[in-house]
């Protein structure tokens, strides 16, 4: 394969967002092929090489829909490395079982791994078993359980866009409310429920931490300033260490009671601090839910 060509193998659970990922990567300039049997990866690389540099970035979707062919994925990639020295990454998309079931029910489609007349949950369980080794060997794992399609596209654009570097650490900052549960994919979680709460200021209650008045209220307190000083110092220390260890992405959760005021403001402050040095996305999981109690 020609020098500088980048190959992304997209795989993962059916219903976890592979179609959205392909659409996004096509918009980013990738040449995309869906449901490619692994045995054809080497042949495809030869075609790319014959393009004389016209194709520089390719994305191939390989998943259990290929049946017996999918079992040859790792053998095909080893052969590719031996013959082409191609630089490739594996992107794995997943989601929680209950979300996958809900998505399939909404689509009214049969799960591709479900036995004839079988339940969706049976297909999900079978597919997870088939993908276990692939997930362990993936370079990037994204859980789309709580991601809207636009948020997934934003994450992929930050990571794989032309302006970004593929080896650059991606920082995903997620604000949330403890009353709605912990985010299951967070690497670090910080609890800011000790900060003064704008919910108890009547004029601020209907607004969120993205509103300047609420943001300024949260930031004005000595406890907030002291906390931020320690937090930012810790984050500035940790992120380079994660990069050295080869970690490609990290999710930082910032939680308050309802996920609308304090956690949102602190998450936005983290965005300001980190955006010049890292590919960063900020999501506010519970922003549209009811106010704090």
Query: Between 21 and 83, where is the model more confident?
Result: 21
Q: What is the mean pLDDT of the chain?
A: 86
Q: Tell me: pLDDT of 44 over 90.
A: no
Cα distance between residue 17 and residue 133, in whole Å? 20
- Show the tokens assigned to 101: 């079931």
Cα distance between residue 61 and residue 33, in whole Å? 6
H or E stretch at 224 = helix 222-244
For the chain, which domains are there? Answer: 6-160 (3.40.50.300), 170-284 (no CATH)
Q: Tell me: pLDDT of 178 over 60.
A: yes
Percent of the chain with pLDDT over 70: 90
Query: Residue 246's pLDDT band (boundaries 50, 70, 90)?
Result: low
Cα distance between residue 172 and residue 278, in whole Å? 10
Query: Residue 65's pLDDT band (boundaries 50, 70, 90)?
Result: confident
Determine the pLDDT at residue 267. Answer: 97
Query: Between 293 and 270, where is the model more confident?
Result: 270
Cα distance between residue 9 and residue 38, in whole Å? 10
Strands 170-177 and 87-94, by their bridges, are unpaired
Determine the pLDDT at residue 184. Answer: 86
Cα distance between residue 286 and residue 9, in whole Å? 32
Contact assessment for residue 100 and residue 15, using Cβ atoms and an 8 Å cutoff: yes
Each residue's pLDDT tens digit, 110-146: 777 777 667 888 888 888 888 888 899 888 999 999 8
Q: Across the beta sheet with 57-61, what order do the strands follow?
A: 31-33, 57-61, 6-12, 87-94, 140-143
Determine the pLDDT at residue 68. Answer: 61
Determine the pLDDT at residue 289. Answer: 81
Query: Residue 164's pLDDT band (boundaries 50, 70, 90)?
Result: very low
- Tell me which DSSP letter residue 8 carries: E
Query: Residue 62's pLDDT band (boundaries 50, 70, 90)?
Result: confident
Determine the pLDDT at residue 153. Answer: 86
In degrees, rounded to 5, the angle at the alpha carbon of residue 171 between the alpha carbons of residues 166 and 174 is 145
């Amino acid at each position: 394969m020609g020098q500088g060509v980048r190959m992304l193998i997209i795989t993962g659970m059916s219903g976890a967002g592979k179609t959205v990922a392909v659409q996004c990567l096509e918009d980013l300039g990738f040449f995309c092929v869906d449901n490619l049997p692994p045995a054809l990866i080497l042949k495809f690389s030869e075609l790319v090489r014959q393009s004389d540099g016209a194709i520089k970035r390719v994305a191939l979707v390989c998943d259990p829909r290929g049946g017996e062919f999918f079992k040859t994925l790792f053998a095909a990639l080893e052969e590719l490395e031996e013959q082409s020295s191609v630089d490739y990454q594996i992107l794995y998309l997943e989601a929680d079982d209950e979300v996958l079931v809900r998505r399939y029910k909404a689509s009214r489609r049969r799960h591709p791994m479900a036995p004839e007349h079988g339940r969706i949950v049976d297909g999900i369980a079978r597919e997870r078993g088939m993908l276990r080794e692939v997930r362990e060997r993936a370079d990037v794992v994204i859980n789309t359980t709580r991601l809207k399609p636009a948020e997934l596209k934003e994450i992929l654009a930050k990571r794989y866009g032309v302006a970004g570097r593929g080896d650059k650490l991606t920082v995903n900052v997620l604000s949330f409310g403890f009353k709605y549960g912990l985010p299951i994919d967070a690497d670090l979680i910080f609890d800011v429920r000790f900060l003064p709460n704008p919910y108890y200021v009547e004029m601020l209650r209907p607004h969120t931490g993205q509103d300047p008045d609420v943001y300024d209220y949260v930031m004005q307190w000595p406890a907030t300033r002291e906390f931020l000083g320690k937090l930012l110092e810790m984050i500035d220390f940790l992120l380079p260490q994660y990069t050295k260890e080869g970690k490609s992405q990290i999710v930082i959760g910032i939680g308050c009671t309802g996920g609308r005021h304090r956690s949102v403001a602190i998450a936005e402050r983290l965005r300001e601090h980190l955006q010049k040095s890292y590919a960063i996305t900020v999501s506010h999981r519970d922003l549209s839910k009811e106010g704090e109690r």
